[in-house]
Chain A
Amino acid sequence: MRGYRTILVERVDLGQGTTGRFHGLLHSGGRYVISDERSATECAEESAIVKRIAAEAVEDTGGLFVTTPADDPGYADRFLAACLKTGVPVQEIPAAEALRREPRLNPGISRAFEVQDGAVDAWKLLWGNARSAQEHGAAILSYHWVTEVIREGDRVAGVIARDNRAGEMVRIEAAFVINAGGVWAGEIADMADCPGVTVVPGKGIMIAMNHRLVRTVVNRCEHPGDGDILVPIRTVCVIGTTDVKADSPDDYSIGRDEVQQMLDAGEVIVPGFRQARALHAWTGARPLFKDERAGEGGEDTRHMSRGLALVDHLRRDGVSGFLTITGGKLTTYRLMAETVVDAMVEQMGDSRPCTTATEALPGSEDGRHYWLGSRLAAQEEAMADDQLVCECELMPRRKLVEAARRRPGMTLDDVRRALRLGMGPCQGGFCTYRATGILHGLGDAETERADELLLTFLQHRWLGLEPILYGDQMRQACLDDWIFQGTLDVEHLPVTVPT
């Protein structure tokens, strides 16, 4: 948008990393008013901007902070004062009013505060940004894995990436390289011979529940802890999250103990939570920039800064043409971009102002927010002349065919991120076979690849199912096994699937 020719290089699919692995909360800032004042103010400002520029990706659910019987009753007054200090809009409402709005909430809540939280669909947000970038002339290379940062003396002059689908190496020469690798930013800085950029992966698990148990975002009015947020997003609500230091950003394992911890936490917010149906669990790794000079660190990553971190490699390492931006959170993604591009513009001696806070993303021009019934309304229109492929998430065939035309060679996980295939209650039980058959029928996936797509998707779904298999989801998993193994015998498809 500032007139530079830009190439975005992403190692897998957009949103396969941390951005797509969160609970969907567009922070009002309330969560950080005491622990991290700067983050709180940034969130308050940025969430208002995101609601405006990315309206289509945001549901304006509003949020509540509630003092449950398990919370320190003294926190509420400190919370209120800190909101005023940090500029986070807040309004106390009677606990009875909160219970009227959210009948499932713990009836023992003593205080309730209304804040301006929202729910944001990370993938919609990403695709909105991607389309915007493309409209401004940028190219996006997904499934390109950076293997080398090209150095020419004291300056960075581009990157070499492996195109993982074509199996070719791609050399990209550039006047400037911005490292926005998130949890992987340290690895990329190392490639540029700028060592010591330490980004600690703060791993958290989240669990999506089958339907909305609450209509607004519910936070516990307490020092930020594990499992204290319940976010209604799309058709589900998500409880999150834990926070443990991971050894590797690619560690997606989900501990059974972490699941139990989330379920207990859910019970505190919504009694009976354990009886509700869990759909799927996943992990995301927060990029926590380790500021060693401040002497912090240790194992509990929650006390590390949530703030964005700009690393100026010219000042730090004497390397020009290279900046690292990391830390931060999804709510402040735009501010991170503004900050790093401002720094780049300054280093390049330009003066081109940032306009991302005012220009709406494609699809959000009319300022209308996402609403829960939108897919149902669209399906009502399409019912006569289209087939429903994913019944849970109401994904019609036409959408899949269009997506396949736009982006040939998708995996079913790519389809999931773009169209929510397999994200509903049956977790792919009925749609995986359909989507495979359609992509194969279109000629988009030849037979062996089609078999691979099917089995890989089932395996990937399983990774998020296995840790939360109990109650209704266990019933579903067994029915799905009956369909795939019992009726279709997919385990004897003539193809081997990588783990």
Chain B
Amino acid sequence: MTHPLHELMRDSLDHCVKCTICETYCPVAAATPLFPGPKYVGPQAERYRGGDANADASLDYCSSCGICTQVCPQGVKIAEINSQAKAELAQRRGVSLRDRLIARPTLAGWMGAPVWPVANWTTSFGPFRLLLEKVLRIHRKAPMPRWAGRTFQSRTRSRRKAPDPAAPQRKVVFFHGCAANFYEPGTASMAVQVLEHNGLEVIIPKQGCCGLPLQSNGQYDAARAYVRRLAAQLAPYARAGHDIVATSTSCGLMLKREAHEILGVDDDDLRVVSERMFDICEYLVMLDERGELKRDMQPVDMEVPYHAPCQQRGHGVGTPAMELMAMVPGLRASQVDAVCCGVAGTYGLKAEKYDIAMEVGRSLFDQVRASGAALSVCDSETCRWQIAAATDRPSVHPVEMLHRAYGLG
């Protein structure tokens, strides 16, 4: 488990001055007394670790949203320390079948895709969900995506082109992530069309899972294998000078930073991919700053609440989605005053954590409902599923608003 970078992350606990800013921003600590807070389980408890046994099971209530690291003004890698400690805890306790399953979206994806109508029926079938809760401890009400039938990969086989070192800037690589592949190919298609509308050729190489759900469920070795494989798939494009654009903000962050800082993956493939990786909204705003973004947006007369998900905040690029939506005439986007929707990837699916996750997201859901808007906007898939289920209205990726404004749909 220990790797040199682990020691580096651990050393950052030296910067902690106990100021408690992380605790006041932690969405889980605000929702439940069962979680003693990121300072407590992070820089504080870490000084007691390193022996033969983990002493603090309450650590498991951390949702790994990463807000603590982001708000810490002292540079303590709180979420990273907690993630490492959680992984060690998971190893000691043994990883449950449930956590093995939900950590492998490709597995469920491939199982469901060929039989998608049946799969969709079962996951929305009450008695089956009760069974799932009893047997696997996946909460019966937890939001589940619907299989889309053909995968995005198989729909876009013609775009599986080789790197083109001759024209690197005119061609971008699209990294769609597992969720788009199995459940939301529509969002991915819109992203491709928006990029193309801006004069870019889009390459969609064969690509696997980044391993993020494995990482957040404490299965580091498997996660490392996944992310290395993915980095190897994308690295030739990065080396040729292509930028890589992601719609899945959490998977993009995994490649930018988390695989390195949390898993300790330190190879050249990951490094080049990381340097070329952009969240799609970040990328489009960058185009705009260079004067290359098309401003031919048509009015979209709507009011939409926007939620910047935790993982998007982790990119450290501000809120480019808000800037993009501000360019669309008539579109009145307002940022919701809430840090987290609660689901944090797979956290909110778990039977023992579902209620906490819903409490975490309560204020967000209230604001979305109170806005009266027909839909909400958010960059992350699992968050959209959570928000949509909790507010009874669709939640879409910001690129979809742009897609509308460009008149592409």
Interface of A with B (CB < 8 Å)? 103-104, 210-212, 215, 235-236, 275-277, 371-377, 379-380, 383-384, 391-392, 394, 424-426, 429-430, 471-472, 475-476, 479
Cβ-defined contact, B18 with A372, below 8 A: no
- Whole-angstrom CA separation of A277 from B47 in the bound complex: 13
Checking B18, B44, B58 against A380 with a beta-carbon cut-off of 8 angstroms, the contacting residue is: B58
In the complex with contacts A103-B4, A211-B13, A383-B36, A376-B52 CB distance below 8 A: no
- A378 nearest CB across to chain B (Å): 8
Nearest residue (CB) in B for A272 is B11
* Cβ contacts A to B, 28 pairs, < 8 Å: A104-B7, A210-B14, A210-B47, A211-B10, A211-B13, A235-B47, A275-B11, A276-B11, A277-B14, A371-B53, A373-B48, A375-B48, A376-B45, A377-B55, A380-B55, A380-B58, A391-B40, A424-B47, A425-B16, A425-B18, A426-B17, A426-B18, A429-B17, A429-B18, A430-B18, A475-B74, A479-B17, A479-B19
B47 neighbours in A (Cβ, 8 Å) = 210-212, 235-236, 392, 424
| A104, chain B: closest CB distance, angstroms | 7
Whether, in the assembled complex, B56 has its beta carbon less than 8 Å from a beta carbon of chain A, the answer is yes
B56 touches A377 (CB 8 A): yes
Minimum CB–CB distance from B216 to chain A (whole Å) comes to 22
Query: What residues of A have a CB within 8 angstroms of the CB of B33 in the complex?
Result: 384
Partner of B51, one of A372, A384, A430, A471: A372
- Given A376-B45, A380-B55, A425-B14, output 9 extra A-B contacts at Cβ < 8 Å: A103-B7, A211-B10, A276-B14, A379-B56, A380-B57, A391-B39, A424-B47, A429-B18, A472-B17
Map CB proximity to A onto B43-80 as digits: 1 under 8 Å, 0 otherwise.
01111111111111110000000000000001000000
B158 at the interface (CB under 8 A from A): no
Pairwise interchain contact A372-B48, C-beta atoms closer than 8 A: yes
Q: Mark B1-45, 1 if CB is under 8 A from A, else 0.
A: 010100100110111111100000000000001001001100011
> Considering the chains assembled together, what is the distance between the CA atoms of A200 and B192 in angstroms?
81
CB distance from B6 to the nearest CB of A (A): 9
Instruction: Determine whether the beta carbon of B46 is less than 8 Å from that of A211.
Output: yes
**Which chain B residue shows the least CB distance to A375?**
B48
A163 to B40, CA, bound (A): 42
Given the contacts A103-B2, A103-B7, A392-B44, A373 and B51 also touching, CB distance less than 8 Å: yes
Q: Which residue of A lies closest to B41 (CB)?
A: A376
Expressed in whole angstroms, the Cα–Cα distance for A384 and B46 within the complex equals: 21
Per-residue A-contact encoding for B333-344, CB less than 8 Å = 1, 0 else: 000000000000
State the 9 A-B residue pairs at the shortest beta-carbon distance, nearest first: A373-B55, A377-B55, A277-B14, A376-B55, A376-B48, A372-B51, A235-B47, A426-B18, A211-B47
**Given the complex, which residues of A lie within 8 Å of B4, measured CB to CB?**
103
**Nearest-neighbor residue (CB-CB) of B19 within chain A:** A479
Are B49 and A372 in contact, CB atoms less than 8 angstroms apart? yes
* Structural contact, A376 and B14, CB atoms closer than 8 A: no
Residues B51 and A371 in contact, CB atoms below 8 Å apart? yes
Chain A residues whose C-beta falls within 8 Å of the C-beta of B13 in the assembled complex = 210-211
Q: How far is the CA of A379 from the CA of B37 in the complex (A)?
A: 14
Set of chain A residues within 8 Å of B55, measured between Cβ atoms? 373-374, 376-377, 380
Residue from A235, A371, A373 having most chain B Cβ neighbours under 10 A = A373
Residues of A contacting B16 in the complex (Cβ-Cβ under 8 angstroms): 425
Contacts of B15 in A (CB 8 A): 277, 472, 475
A211 near B51 with CB under 8 A, answer: no
A65 to chain B, nearest CB (A): 22
Distance in Å from the Cβ of A380 to the closest Cβ of chain B? 5
Sorting the interface of chain B by its residue count into under 10, 10 to 19, 20 to 34 or 35 or more gives 20 to 34
Measured between alpha carbons, how far is A375 from B40 in the docked complex, in Å?
Answer: 13
Name the contact of B52 in the complex, choosing from A104, A210, A212, A371 (C-beta under 8 A).
A371
- Give min CB distance, B266 to chain A, whole Å: 15
* In the bound complex, CA of A215 to CA of B7 (Å): 13
Measured in the bound complex, the distance between the Cα atoms of B16 and A320 in whole Å is: 58
A373 & B49 in contact (Cβ 8 Å cutoff): yes
Bound CA span A354–B56, Å = 43
Q: Nearest-CB distance from A162 to chain B (Å)?
A: 40
Chain B residues with CB below 8 A from A277, complex form: 14-15
Q: Is the CB of A392 within 8 A of B18?
A: yes
- What sequence of 0s and 1s flags, for each residue 242-260 of chain B, a beta carbon within 8 Å of any chain A beta carbon? 0000000000000000000
Residues of A within 8 A of B17 (CB): 425-426, 429, 472, 475-476, 479
Residue ID in chain A nearest B52 by CB atoms = A371
**Interchain CA distance A267-B13 in the complex, whole Å:** 20
A276 and B7 CA atoms in complex are apart in Å by 12
What's the Cα separation between A61 and B58 when bound, in Å?
27
Specify which chain A residues have a CB less than 8 angstroms from the CB of B10 in the assembled complex: 211
Q: How far is the CB of B264 from chain A (nearest CB, A)?
A: 12
How near does chain B come to A358, taking the closest CB pair, in angstroms? 28
Can you name the residue of chain A whose Cβ is closest to the Cβ of B57?
A380
Residues of A within 8 A of B2 (CB): 103
User: Which of these, A211, A377, A392, A394, contacts B14 with CB under 8 Å?
Assistant: A211
Within 8 Å CB of A276, what residues of B?
11, 14
Question: How far is B44's CA from A47's CA once the two chains are assembled, in angstroms?
Answer: 31
Residues of B within 8 A of A235 (CB): 47-48
Alpha-carbon distance between A72 and B261 when the two chains are bound, in angstroms: 39
Please, which residue of chain B has its CB at the minimum distance from the CB of A431?
B18
* A276–B13 alpha-carbon span in the complex (Å): 10
A212 near B50 with CB under 8 A, answer yes
A473 to chain B, nearest CB (A): 9
User: Which residue in chain A gives the minimum CB-CB distance to B74?
Assistant: A475
Q: Which residue of the partner chain A has the closest CB to B36?
A: A383
B364 to chain A, nearest CB (A): 28
Contact with A215, one of B14, B45, B50 (Cβ below 8 angstroms) = B50
The interface centre, meaning the residue of A425, A429, A479 with most chain B CB atoms within 10 A of its CB, is A425
Alpha-carbon gap, A277 to B50, bound state (A): 18
* B18 close to A376 (CB less than 8 A): no
* A420 CB, min distance to chain B CBs, angstroms: 12
Report the separation of the CA atoms of residues A472 and B76 in the bound assembly, to the nearest whole angstrom.
Answer: 11
Report A-chain residues with C-beta under 8 Å of the C-beta of B52.
371
Give the residues in chain B near A379, CB-CB below 8 Å.
Answer: 56
Nearest opposing residue in chain A for B46, CB measure = A211
* B25 vs chain A, min Cβ distance (A): 17
Q: How far is the CA of A277 from the CA of B2 in the complex (A)?
A: 21
Assembly CA distance A391 to B17 (angstroms): 11
CA distance A371 to B51 in the complex (A): 7
A277 (CB) vs chain B CBs: closest residue: B14
A184 vs B7: C-alpha distance when bound (angstroms): 44
User: Given A103-B2, A380-B55: A391 and B18 within 8 A (CB)?
Assistant: yes
CB distance from A209 to the nearest CB of B (A): 9
B43, closest chain A residue (CB): A425
Which chain B residues border A429 with CB–CB below 8 Å?
17-18
The distance in angstroms between the C-alpha atoms of A430 and B46, with both chains bound, is 19
Instruction: Check B50–A372 contact: CB distance below 8 A.
Output: yes
Query: For A471, what are the chain B residues with a Cβ–Cβ distance below 8 Å?
Result: 14
Q: Could you say which residues of chain B place their CB within 8 Å of the CB of A472?
A: 14-15, 17
